[in-house]
């Protein structure tokens, strides 16, 4: 049985796909524009502009900790 469904690579997601994934699992709406604003603020991206969800999550935790200080 072949699975022809498109696969998402959580280490290299275009921002639009990352936004859809994060919205689906996070319980809050996340838009590509929100992710782009985070990238502009220093969130890490891959060389091709895609987002590694684990690296992005680590960056978010670091940012939240810095704001708590």
What is the reported pTM? 0.85
Residue 16 tokens, joined: 């639009």
47: Cβ contacts below 8 Å, ≥ 6 apart: none
Contact 18, 51 (CB under 8 A): yes
- pLDDT tens readout for residues 31-53: 999 999 999 999 999 999 999 99
Cross-strand partners of 13: 51
- pLDDT tens readout for residues 11-20: 999 999 999 9
The Cα–Cα gap between 19 and 51 comes to 10
Contact 12, 49 (CB under 8 A): no
Contact 44, 55 (CB under 8 A): yes
* Domain assignments of the chain as residue spans, ordered by start: 15-68
């Amino acid at each position: 049985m072949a699975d022809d469904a498109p696969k998402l690579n959580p280490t290299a997601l275009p921002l639009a796909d990352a936004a859809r994934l994060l919205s689906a699992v996070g319980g809050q709406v996340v838009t590509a524009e929100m992710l782009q604003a985070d990238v502009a603020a220093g969130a890490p991206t891959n060389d091709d502009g895609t987002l590694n969800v684990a690296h992005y999550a680590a960056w978010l935790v670091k940012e939240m900790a810095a704001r708590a200080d």
